[in-house]
Structure 1
């Protein structure tokens, strides 16, 4: 099966084009609210695990045995890295990354791209760290499900923070309904 020549575009990457989703004039606002919701969900999930860990009880019927594992500072580090990466990525001026607006200094574009890389590297490092903690601290020790939830909450926090950063980046790159392009 081949694509008819009338529909062929040599710049196209995928055989089947992505659906054209139009959200109307409020697409930027919807994206920003969606990113905020993902951010809140990410942090709520991990804080829920931390609170459950702080109030964990010994197994029923055995009051002298303490809970086998708690959320420690090592569990917080991946989320902090992802949060810093999200801040770095979304504080960068998008026009500098693209090299538009005639900034004059070629090094400004290079520095903006370097900071963008550092931000995404922080988020990727946070995700990798949370997966490593899940495997090394919770999965390999064969804890019951109530304790492995702490590791799953850590991974889900970092995934949601990355998705939030991507949605916010895309929604801020879209022009709003109040912007006008006055080019001559």
Structure 2
């Protein structure tokens, strides 16, 4: 006769057993609990050249912003009558209203970059205790000026150029105004980030 063996009993869970981990869509080696997106953004590190690249990029954006609007102003000053209509003047010109958004953005740009970054972060422990909130208030005023300049340029573009149905030759004046405000804001952000990082001399000292 074949000996009868009892069926193996299933193991009972004990208090020392390890709890099951929840299923993850990423391998454990690539899992980071701080990650928000499934595919993270590429990590671009410029090292000791971060400050230099940021300053040059901010300067290029600043020059591009003012060159674009000055180009529109020069084109407006030398605009001629339509072909075959010598007695018909150009329908629109760049006036002082077009300059106001750029002036506001430029003032905000100067205010933002004249602020001591350590005061805004509150890292300075000496001096007036109210210097931190004053620096942050001035920073807010600078960004408010830049935001007002951008909003004003969009308003001038819509009310003065788009709604009146001018040809593309003349609506370029309004688009150049908006481009100036956007480029100045990007330049201020890039310069702020570049100045917040350590320069090449400080980088060599840390090594």
TM superposition score normalised by structure 1? 0.91
For residue 104 of structure 1, report the CA deviation from its aligned partner: 4.5
Aligned to 1:59: 82
User: Quick one: structure 1 residues 86 and 16, their matched pair in 2 at CA, closer, same or farther if it must change by over 3 Å?
Assistant: farther
Q: CA RMSD in A?
A: 2.0
Residues 83, 161 of structure 1: 8 Å contact kept: yes
Correspondence 1:77 to 2:107: no
**Using the alignment, how far apart are the partners of 1:111 and 1:73 within structure 2?**
33
**Using the alignment, how far apart are the partners of 2:25 and 2:121 within structure 1?**
34
**Using the alignment, how far apart are the partners of 1:115 and 1:16 within structure 2?**
38
For residue 27 of structure 1, report the CA deviation from its aligned partner: 1.2
Correspondence 1:171 to 2:194: yes
Aligned to 1:125: 148
Comparing 24-33 with 166-175, which one deviates more in the overlay? Answer: 24-33
For residue 14 of structure 1, report the CA deviation from its aligned partner: 5.3
For residue 4 of structure 1, report the CA deviation from its aligned partner: 6.6
User: Quick one: structure 1 residues 88 and 16, their matched pair in 2 at CA, closer, same or farther if it must change by over 3 Å?
Assistant: farther
User: Quick one: structure 1 residues 141 and 152, their matched pair in 2 at CA, closer, same or farther if it must change by over 3 Å?
Assistant: same
Which structure is larger by alpha-carbon Rg, 1 or 2? 2
For residue 25 of structure 1, report the CA deviation from its aligned partner: 1.6
Total equivalences in the alignment: 181
Matches within 5 A, 1:3-18: 6-9=31-34, 16-18=39-41
Matches within 5 A, 1:22-61: 22-61=45-84
Gaps in structure 2 of 5+ consecutive residues: 1-23
**Using the alignment, how far apart are the partners of 2:37 and 2:121 within structure 1?**
23
Comparing 19-28 with 35-44, which one deviates more in the overlay? Answer: 19-28
Matches within 5 A, 1:97-136: 97-136=120-159
Residues 96, 103 of structure 1: 8 Å contact kept: no
Partner SS state of residue 106, structure 1: coil
TM superposition score normalised by structure 2? 0.81
**Using the alignment, how far apart are the partners of 1:44 and 1:180 within structure 2?**
34
For residue 106 of structure 1, report the CA deviation from its aligned partner: 2.8
Runs of 4+ in 1 over 4 A off after TM superposition: 1-6, 12-16, 180-183
Aligned to 1:87: 110
User: Quick one: structure 1 residues 181 and 100, their matched pair in 2 at CA, closer, same or farther if it must change by over 3 Å?
Assistant: farther
